Amino acid sequence: MSHTQSCHLQVADLWVVRGGRTVLRGVSLRLDAGQLGEVTGSNGVGKSTLLRVIAGFLPPASGCASLNEWGAKDLAPLAERVHYVGHLDGLKSALTARENIQFGLTLSGQARLPPREALDRVELAHVVDLPVGYLSAGQRRRVALARLLAADRPLWLLDEPLTALDRAARVMLMGIVANHLGRGGLVLAATHEPLGLPGALELRLEAQ
């Protein structure tokens, strides 16, 4: 399945207040189909917060985020068209790699690849039936990334996606992201390091 080429993410004048402190002040951006956005800035400026608001985990004080598709009707809510991979891997240690991916599919639907094939794409087919609690930090991170491949969603929100990945795994991730963009998908990554793909749009956040 290819994503519509007219899909775009619009974030308009987003304000976020947490604990009485303004974390994000009037953030706006637009990402078009096939575009990578990189949210940069020092620790504590709200990079992760921005992704979590777009994913629907946190409410904004004002402003909005929307994923628009030209000509589409009866679209699912934004949160149901987003893949979010946080700074933590979000895996259940007692479940196998296969079960973690299958569990994600029961929540997200729209299966694109079976769990074993998704794990094979990140070179982890050999741990498909091993509880993830036995895996290294890098392997767990790759299982989390395999979930991106298993279910078909147009917008990927990646929080520090290079964390715990060695050089080979980083190259693999770049290929996965480039393939998603080539299919008309969108990626917004909060990162201290550029992902190394051409044409990325940088949104630099400053301390409030």
Given this model, what pLDDT does residue 203 score? 96
Question: Which tokens is 82 given?
Answer: 């987003």
Strand, coil or helix: 164 = coil
Q: Residue 57 to residues 71, 82, 169, 191: CA-CA distances in angstroms?
A: 28, 12, 28, 19
pTM of this structure: 0.89
Task: Say which residue, 37 or 112, is predicted with more confidence.
Answer: 37
Given this model, what pLDDT does residue 1 score? 41
CA–CA dist 81, 79 (Å, integer): 6
- Could you tell me the residue ranges of all domains in the chain? 8-69+78-204
Predicted confidence (pLDDT) per residue in 71-107, tens digit: 555 566 777 788 899 887 889 999 999 999 988 776 6
Please give the angle made by the CA atoms of 182, 184 and 190, to the nearest 5 degrees: 85
Q: Which superfamily is assigned to 8-69+78-204 in CATH?
A: P-loop containing nucleotide triphosphate hydrolases (3.40.50.300)
Predicted confidence (pLDDT) per residue in 96-144, tens digit: 999 999 887 766 556 678 899 999 999 999 999 999 999 999 999 999 9
82 near 56, Cβ under 8 Å?
yes
Mean pLDDT of 20-33: 95
Question: Which tokens is 93 given?
Answer: 């240690």
Given this model, what pLDDT does residue 72 score? 58
Q: Residue 199 to residues 6, 22, 31, 147, 159: CA-CA distances in angstroms?
A: 18, 31, 12, 25, 19
